[in-house]
Chains A and B, each alone.
Chain A
Amino acid sequence: NAGVTQTPKFQVLKTGQSMTLQCAQDMNHEYMSWYRQDPGMGLRLIHYSVGAGITDQGEVPNGYNVSRSTTEDFPLRLLSAAPSQTSVYFCASISLQRGYGYTFGSGTRLTVV
């Protein structure tokens, strides 16, 4: 089925470890983004991309890196995990031409201990 695929679904990290959250979409969407969701805070934008080779920072970019080498993939890297990065992470994409509604991945639940 077409859509946004996120892996892994669950992850536990130790403080200081690094990891990459994977996101892939097969809808040829130009725009991809990463959000984190914390209780009482809603969804906050971490990084986004409007096309291959183009990325920009969102509201809460510190501690995260992204790259966009292809239209399909938009990985999120945690450089040195901290307990404050314990959250649910969602990847989302949208066609900038059609511009109707994000498609979200099913989320990654990350715990940093």
Chain B
Amino acid sequence: RKEVEQDPGPFNVPEGATVAFNCTYSNSASQSFFWYRQDCRKEPKLLMSVYSSGNEDGRFTAQLNRASQYISLLIRDSKLSDSATYLCVVKVLGNTGKLIFGQGTTLQVKP
């Protein structure tokens, strides 16, 4: 079983739609959680951290459920520019900095 699992998609949605991605992780010692965005043939870039209380950044909302070991990302009012692959990322306990990446979920926003 992979340490971090995501539905690879693709999710095809019209502009303006709301879309949600989920991610599950297997290591209960996981400490920090992130969503990264990766555009085609580019490097991943940090989208947002995920906090236990949930957090929002504009049209993006991230949630963490430690009991069920899943993380979610909600995108409201989808834009064409949101088309990308979204990577769920987990850091296990300790300060080595090592991150575990999910395989990513691909979003395609259509006009």
Contacts and interface: CB of A to CB of B under 8 A. Distances in A.
B43 A106 contact: yes
A91 to B, nearest CB: 9
A53 interface: no
Interface string A24-66: 0000001101010000111111001010000000100000000
B33 interface: no
Interface stretch (B11-19, B73-81, B100-108): B100-108
B97 A90 contact: no
Given A40-B103, A42-B103, A96 B43 contact: no
Interface string B87-106: 10000000111111111100
A73 B34 CA distance: 26
B103 A41 contact: yes
B46 interface: yes
Interface string A74-113: 0000000000000000100010100111101111000000
A102 B42 contact: no
Contacts of A107: 42-43
A28 B89 CA distance: 23
A58 B44 contact: no
Contact of B34 (A42, A43, A101): A101
A104 B44 contact: yes
A99 B97 contact: yes
A104 B98 CA distance: 14
Contacts of A35: 101
A43 B45 contact: no
B49 A96 contact: no
A40 B98 contact: no
Interface of B: 4, 8, 32, 34, 42-46, 49, 87, 95-104
11 contacts: A42-B103, A43-B87, A43-B101, A44-B101, A48-B97, A90-B43, A96-B97, A100-B46, A101-B34, A104-B44, A106-B42
